[in-house]
Amino acid sequence: MRLPKFEYFAPKSLKEAVSILQNEPSAKILAGGTDLLVNMKHKVECPPAIVNIKGINDLDYIKQDNAAVRIGALTTLKHIYMTSLIQEKLPVLAEAASTVGSYHHQTMGTLAGNLCQQNRCKFFNQSQWWRSARPTCFKAGGQICHVVNKKEICYSSYCGDVAPALLALNAKILVTGHKDSREILLEDLFSGDGKAPLNLNPGEILAEIIIALEEMDGVSSYIKFANRESIDFPIVGTAFWASMENKEYRVAFTAADRKPLRAHQVEAFMNGKNLSENILDEASALAAKEAKPIKTSVYSTTYKRRLMGLLLKSTVSEAMRRAKS
Amino acid sequence: MEKELNVVGARLPMMDAAQKVKGTALFTDDLILPGMLFGKILRSPVPHAKILNIDTSRAEKLPGVKGVVTGRDIPDRKYGIVPMAKDEYALAKDKVRYIGDDVAAVCAIDPEIAEEAVELIKVDYEELPAVFDPLEAKREGAPEIHAGIKNNTSFAIRKEFGDVRKAFAECDAIFEDTFYSQPVNHAPLEPHAALAQFDPLNGELTIWSSTQIPFFLRRNLSNTLQIPESKVRVVKPKVGGGFGQKIDLYAKDFCAAWFAIQLGKPVKFVYEREEVFISTRQRHPMYITVKTGMKKDGIILAQKFQAHADGGAYNSTAPTMIALSCYFLMIPYRVPNLIYEGYHVYTNKPVGGAMRGHGIPQARFAVERQLDMIAERLGLDAAEVRIKNSIHAGEPHPAKFIINTCGFSDSVKKAADAIGWKEKRGKLPLGRGVGLAGASFPSGVSNMSHISSGAVVQLGRDGAVNVLSGAADIGQGAETVISQIVAEELGVPIEDIRITAADTGITPLDPGTFGSGVTVRAGNAARLAVISVKQKLFNFIADKLEANVADLVAKDRNIFVKGSPEKGMTLSEALKSYQYADLPMPIVGRGSWMAPATEPTTLFKEDGNFAPSYSFMTQAAEVDVDLHTGKVKLLRMVTAHDCGRAINPMLVEGQLEGSVVGGMGQALYEDVIVEKGQVMNPSFLDYGFPTFLEMPEIEAIEVETDDPIGPFGAKEAGEGTQLSPAPAIVNAIYDAIGVNFMELPITPEKILDALEEKKNRKNSRSDQCISHC
Ligand SMILES: Cc1cc2nc3c(=O)[nH]c(=O)nc-3n(C[C@H](O)[C@H](O)[C@H](O)COP(=O)(O)OP(=O)(O)OC[C@H]3O[C@@H](n4cnc5c(N)ncnc54)[C@H](O)[C@@H]3O)c2cc1C
Ligand code: SF4
């Protein structure tokens, strides 16, 4: 399969990149390309222009100042999980990054690219010819949805591995735009709209991911359940973070809904409690209700719900184990 | 055969292993010719429709496009891998029959333009009702997929062996169960490709193709293109796996040749992975009902077997597949009375074809599962039942197979011992289990259509041994095995062998890679050829050494009198004096081999000895089932295998490992999921076959027999081992969680559902014994 034609830009600075994007509002940012190029070959994304940001110098870093750990947008997933600071203090992030795709995706794929990856659907991630057997769906620019027969809503799922880990860490992101930069909660990046999953304005670039230092005091874990160990998107992924002293907990899921999901109700139920088996049973039951998985993959929604409860327990027990040791 | 062997039996890496690892091996897509053009095929987006009109004008006008061809333009010649089952055009003529059917092709100066041009072709379809299930397709009133084929049943056989009614009456217990085996794709790493070149001056077509059978391709191209066979030359470059999927002619072969002829320029086609999944072949999905009657002690008296194979849109190997699934019910177990009913039914779906085991894996799954279920119901040991019913060498066979050697019962014992059957079966904690299953496969099939293998060996003054063989090495190591045989006979190391294999313009006739025959057929032919060379040389030397020809041996690049190594000369000296005696150089030997049979049989009409020998094996699995997630982990797989003498144990292990992954895939991972005729998972990512990290620990146990027919006692090791891993795994899952799965694949979701169901109806036992005394 071949790439559709596009104009190519390789800016040397963020500023330059932003200004190109201003002039070409439907241009696409290219980082590792492991998500974008596949979609372009399938012709579900045909941007008139590509802005390759890999040539921008200072976007590949992991640094710590007196307020936060800051990770540059272009930092590769491998760099993240190979960094001892992350491994030791933020294991949930290292684990999530190390489960993405296969080794190749981890060396090519960047953190921002991973967070900003497209939603997925079995009717969408297919070649142009394949899709020609059915009317074009909303997400690909058409009039109907093959999964849910409702007007104008796309239920495609967000399947990225790293987002739930960062949600559990309450991460913020720095978005650089034409006029200024804004710092927002990562959670607010995701719109929940399958057709346009990100709340980014034209011309905006995700520049940095920010994790407050106090997050390092908690314990955490990410568990991904997938078909194969070597490669595969999650069927469900679950991230958990806890401050044992404060009995404060955070839970996030991926591949269970149209966006990566902070499970606020589950957290509200758990917060302040000791995590006994009974409490966990109840939390698991709640977890299954918190998301709205839709059958956008070959896996059933019942199975996804089951896994959510199950993985919540597994991540909790893994985190507790870590708290002890 | 009491003979000391040096090269045969050695663990040698494949001769092209280093090239492949370095990436210098040349596959079809690596070949580049001056002025080469690129082709692309337009495929049907509808499952069943009449083609009303094809408008190619916009495609033709696109700059860079050199040609467009549709079904209208090509000769009215149907194609089919089995001559009696031809039902397919290289490009659809009047109708499309599945999503993915070949409709038209373009050829352009680069692949991008070809892809763009294909999208500019406008086809008007009149959609017809479609049918996606063979049981529905067989009903009265179902849409007719091929004109004149009633009930969409293109092949149906009913065979009876022995006296089934009488035998069932004598049984103590009779059981009937229904199974389903899913569609599985071969998924060879190398996608299908072809590159064709035509010389208009002498009218000669040369095609490089990723094919398993160069000589069939030659014949089929000649037929469909209507040019003489003598003007078609098929060259097989390196082939990255086939598993049966590359025995057929495909549109890429035909269209590459067509455009090369029309335009006088080389033309290349390479399929996308999606095309490999949708538009080539797959293992037939099959519904199976087996009724088995036994004596109390577990001896099988009679079986009734009914199979509905979902053929998809075309026949491909339909009659062979049905015949194999029938006859191989009577081996490795003694089934003296059998009724077989088999139907090959068209549906508007991807096409079924030969795939490793060819009709037998589906049948094995049903039978091996049912044997376990029956053993449980009758309170017998499942391994014992298999040993008791094992066929033995030399015994008469209901379908007239001749069993020269048979290590089956031995293989059951050895596999059971190795997996720890006695200690583990029924005794492991919930979630852990062991299971086993047996199988047999024809070795060196050649008793059909008078096929034979030829080989030529040339020995020059330089000492290089040139072997010409028509065998098609598709990654299994056929060239290495043949070279080992030649090297062994001539007493030289394998490095001295230069093999040219599979070029129909140069190498002798060979039936190619199918029916687990290459080692036996082409190996025997090469052996005869090298023996003939050796005899010529020995006859000459014997005089010089004043020795008897019969006393000469060739070893370590020397020829000498047996027992007195000092009485001899080096091979090089021998060749020099041969040449100096003005005898014709190179010394040429020719060999041709065909299985000894008075009457060849395809098994379509009459019984007979289908293959010169049969391999036997038992596979035993140990699994761990995660009761929370439903995930099954295959911990260990033991294969006890009677493949005669292994010419190269390392290559046999390679086949075993491949078959274990294939079996795991069939049992646990793989399914070509089709919704409304459309394949939902046509990529390596979504199809999700097991990878290296899912591999279990593998143990291979040799059950050696010395086969009188295979070269150096060898039997097949390619397809047979693919038959029983899946049922062994499913039987182990039963042992682990007490659930009898009747359908493949067994996904984690199905495991969880089954566990839940089991919990819900703990008390209601569901024995399906129809009569029990
Ligand atoms: C076979 C396969 C398996 C995969 N498995 C997984 C998996 O298991 N888990 C998983 O999470 N992902 C998986 N992926 C998806 C992808 O490889 C990873 O998510 C990867 O991290 C994406 O990073 P990238 O840098 O390559 O992104 P790109 O492809 O370069 O970009 C992805 C998207 O993000 C946008 N983007 C990139 N950088 C920025 C930025 N700085 N600001 C704003 N927008 C930006 C791009 O425009 C594009 O839309 C898989 C992909 C494939 C092909
Ligand atoms: S959910 Fe519906 S609209 Fe969205 S990608 Fe899938 S089919 Fe298209």
Residue with tokens 């397919």: B88
Q: What's the pLDDT at B448? A: 63
C-beta atoms surrounding B2 within 10 Å: 3
Domain annotation covers residue A242: yes
Chain A residue with the nearest C-alpha to that of B41:
A129
* B736-754: pLDDT as tens digits: 999 999 999 999 999 999 9
B99 at the A interface (CB within 8 A)? yes
For chain B, what percentages of helix, strand and coil (3-state, to nearest 5) are there? Answer: 30, 25, 40
A271 with A314, same domain: the answer is yes
Is B46 close to A133, i.e. CB distance below 8 A? yes
What is the secondary structure of A61-117 as a DSSP string? Answer: -EEE-SSEEEEETT-BHHHHHH-HHHHHH-HHHHHHHHTSSSHHHHHH-BHHHHHTP
A53 with A75, same domain: the answer is no
Domain annotation covers residue A93: yes
Which residues, 6+ apart, have CB-to-CB distance to B422 below 8 Å?
B416
* B315-355: pLDDT as tens digits: 999 999 999 999 999 999 999 999 999 999 999 999 999 99
CA of A154 to the centre of ligand 2 (A): 5
Tokens coding B29: 């897509």
Q: What CATH number is associated with residue A312?
A: 3.30.465.10
Q: What's the pLDDT at A98? A: 98
Domain annotation covers residue A24: yes
A249 with A100, same domain: the answer is yes
Domain annotation covers residue A316: yes
The CA distance from A194 to the nearest CA of chain B, in Å, is 20
Give the closest of B115, B682, B688 to A2, CB-based.
B115
* B352-396: pLDDT as tens digits: 999 999 999 999 999 999 999 999 999 999 999 999 999 999 999
Q: Quote the CA–CA distance of B610 and B599 in Å, as a whole number.
A: 10
Chain A interface with B: residues with Cβ < 8 Å: 1-2, 122, 125-130, 132-134, 225, 227-233, 298-300, 302-303, 306-307, 310
CA of A17 to the centre of ligand 2 (A): 31
Q: Measured between alpha carbons, how far is residue B234 from residues B226, B323, B502 in Å?
A: 16, 30, 8
Helices marked H in B30-127 — which ranges?
A: 57-61, 111-120
A80 with A93, same domain: the answer is yes
- CB of A145 closer than 6 A to ligand 2? yes
Is A132 close to B112, i.e. CB distance below 8 A? no
DSSP letter for B192, please.
P
- CB of A44 closer than 6 A to ligand 2? no
Whether the CA torsion B313, B316, B318, B324 is positive or negative: it is negative
C-beta atoms surrounding B719 within 10 Å: 28
Minimal CA–CA distance to B662: which of B747, B749, B723, B733? B723
Task: Flag whether pLDDT at B61 surpasses 60.
Answer: yes
The CA distance from A303 to the nearest CA of chain B, in Å, is 6
Which residues in chain B have their CB less than 8 angstroms from residue A233's CB? 685
Residue whose Cα lies nearest atom 19 of ligand 1: it is: A114
- Asked if the peptide bond before residue A260 counts as cis, ω within 30 degrees of 0, the response is no
Q: Quote the CA–CA distance of B713 and B527 in Å, as a whole number.
A: 12
The CA distance from A288 to the nearest CA of chain B, in Å, is 15
Q: What's the pLDDT at B2? A: 46
Domain annotation covers residue A275: yes
B314 CB-contact burial (10 Å; exposed 0-12 / middle 13-18 / buried 19+): buried
- CB of A36 closer than 6 A to ligand 2? no
Q: Quote the CA–CA distance of B133 and B128 in Å, as a whole number.
A: 16
* B625-654: pLDDT as tens digits: 999 999 999 999 999 998 888 999 999 999
CA of A195 to the centre of ligand 2 (A): 8
Q: What's the pLDDT at A10? A: 97
* B85-111: pLDDT as tens digits: 999 999 999 999 999 999 999 999 999
A185 with A49, same domain: the answer is no
Q: What's the pLDDT at A117? A: 98
Q: Measured between alpha carbons, how far is residue B457 from residues B405, B534, B538, B690 in Å?
A: 30, 10, 15, 41
Residue with tokens 């040749």: B257
CA torsion angle A256 A257 A262 A267 (round to 10):
-60
B691 at the A interface (CB within 8 A)? yes
A234 with A251, same domain: the answer is yes
Which residues, 6+ apart, have CB-to-CB distance to A156 below 8 Å?
A119, A120, A121, A124, A139, A194, A195, A197, A258, A296
CB-CB contact of B513 with B524 (8 Å): no
Q: Quote the CA–CA distance of B463 and A203 in Å, as a whole number.
A: 71
Q: Measured between alpha carbons, how far is residue B208 from residues A121, B79, B110, B197 in Å?
A: 38, 20, 19, 9
Average pLDDT over residues A175-204: 94
- CB of A121 closer than 6 A to ligand 2? yes
What is the secondary structure of B164-176 as a DSSP string? Answer: HHHHHHT-SEEEE
Task: Flag whether pLDDT at A184 surpasses 50.
Answer: yes
DSSP letter for A230, please.
S
C-beta atoms surrounding A192 within 10 Å: 13
> Final residue of a domain: which of A57, A76, A105?
A57
CA torsion angle B314 B317 B322 B326 (round to 10):
-170
* B648-696: pLDDT as tens digits: 999 999 999 999 999 999 999 999 999 999 999 999 999 999 999 999 9
Distance of CA A200 to the CA centre of its chain: 14
Q: What's the pLDDT at B718? A: 85
Q: Give the ligand whose atoms come closest to the C-alpha of residue A42.
A: 1
Interface of B with A in 601-630 (CB under 8 A): 628-629
Backbone angles phi, psi at B725, to 5 degrees: -60, -40
* B687-737: pLDDT as tens digits: 999 999 999 999 999 887 888 889 998 988 889 999 999 999 999 999 999
Is B680 close to A122, i.e. CB distance below 8 A? yes
A51 with A74, same domain: the answer is no
Q: What's the pLDDT at B353? A: 97
A68 with A25, same domain: the answer is no
User: Residue A261 forms beta bridges with which residues?
Assistant: A253
Domain annotation covers residue A134: no
Kindly list the strands in the beta sheet with A62-64, ordered across the sheet, starting from the edge strand earlier in the chain. Answer: A62-64, A68-72, A205-212, A172-176, A181-185
Of the pLDDT bands very low, low, confident and very high (cuts 50, 70, 90), residue B449 is low
Is B694 close to A230, i.e. CB distance below 8 A? yes
A29 with A163, same domain: the answer is no
Give the closest of A2, A133, A232 to B99, CB-based.
A133
Residue whose Cα lies nearest atom 4 of ligand 2: it is: A154
ipTM of the complex: 0.95
Backbone angles phi, psi at B187, to 5 degrees: 50, 55
Average pLDDT over residues A88-106: 97
Q: How far apart are the first and last CA of chain A?
A: 50
C-beta atoms surrounding A306 within 10 Å: 21
> Final residue of a domain: which of A27, A57, A87?
A57
* Radius of gyration over every alpha carbon of chain A, rounded to an integer in angstroms: 19
Q: What's the pLDDT at B763? A: 53
DSSP letter for B611, please.
S
A180 with A205, same domain: the answer is yes
Percent of chain B with pLDDT strictly greater than 90: 88
Q: What CATH number is associated with residue A23?
A: 3.30.43.10
Q: Which of A39, A125, A130 to mutate to test the interface with B (most CBs of B within 10 A)?
A: A130
Question: Pairing mode, if any, of strands B465-469 and B497-501?
Answer: parallel
Q: Quote the CA–CA distance of B194 and B28 in Å, as a whole number.
A: 6
Q: Best of A114, A115, A119, A254 to mutate for ligand 1, by most ligand atoms within 8 A of CB?
A: A114
Tokens coding A9: 């830009």
B147 at the A interface (CB within 8 A)? no
Domain annotation covers residue A314: yes
Higher pLDDT, B461 or B360: B360
How many structural domains does chain A have?
2
Q: Quote the CA–CA distance of A95 and A87 in Å, as a whole number.
A: 8
A45 with A20, same domain: the answer is yes
Average pLDDT over residues B246-253: 97
Q: What's the pLDDT at B599? A: 65
Which residues, 6+ apart, have CB-to-CB distance to A90 below 8 Å?
A69, A169, A211, A215, A216, A220
User: Residue B432 forms beta bridges with which residues?
Assistant: B624
Domain annotation covers residue A138: no
Percent of chain B with pLDDT strictly greater than 70: 97
Residue A233 alpha carbon, nearest atom of ligand 1: 8
Percent of chain A with pLDDT strictly greater than 90: 92
Task: Flag whether pLDDT at A27 surpasses 80.
Answer: yes
CB-CB contact of B699 with B638 (8 Å): yes
The chain-wide mean pLDDT, for chain B, equals 94
Is A132 close to B45, i.e. CB distance below 8 A? yes
- CB of A117 closer than 6 A to ligand 1? yes
Q: Quote the CA–CA distance of B507 and B456 in Å, as a whole number.
A: 8
A283 with A313, same domain: the answer is yes
Whether the CA torsion B219, B223, B225, B228 is positive or negative: it is positive
- 3-class DSSP string for B241-264: CCCCCCCCCCHHHHHHHHHHHHHC
Of the pLDDT bands very low, low, confident and very high (cuts 50, 70, 90), residue B598 is low
Which of the listed ranges B95-109, B508-522, B587-601 does the model predict with the highest average pLDDT? Answer: B95-109
Which domains, and CATH codes, for chain B?
17-24+452-593 (3.30.365.10), 31-128+189-241+246-279 (3.90.1170.50), 286-446+601-760 (3.30.365.10)
Q: Measured between alpha carbons, how far is residue B100 from residues A130, B52, B152, B272, B318 in Å?
A: 9, 18, 20, 12, 20
Domain range spanning residue A18?
A: 1-57
Which residues in chain A have their CB less than 8 angstroms from residue B685's CB? 231-233
Is A310 close to B111, i.e. CB distance below 8 A? no
- CB of A154 closer than 6 A to ligand 2? yes
Minimal CA–CA distance to B286: which of B360, B181, B370? B181
> Helix and strand tally (H, E) in chain B?
20, 29
> Helix and strand tally (H, E) in chain A?
12, 12
Q: Quote the CA–CA distance of B393 and B404 in Å, as a whole number.
A: 5
Helix (H, G, I), strand (E, B) or coil at A202: coil
The CA distance from A174 to the nearest CA of chain B, in Å, is 33
- The amino acid occupying position B486 is V
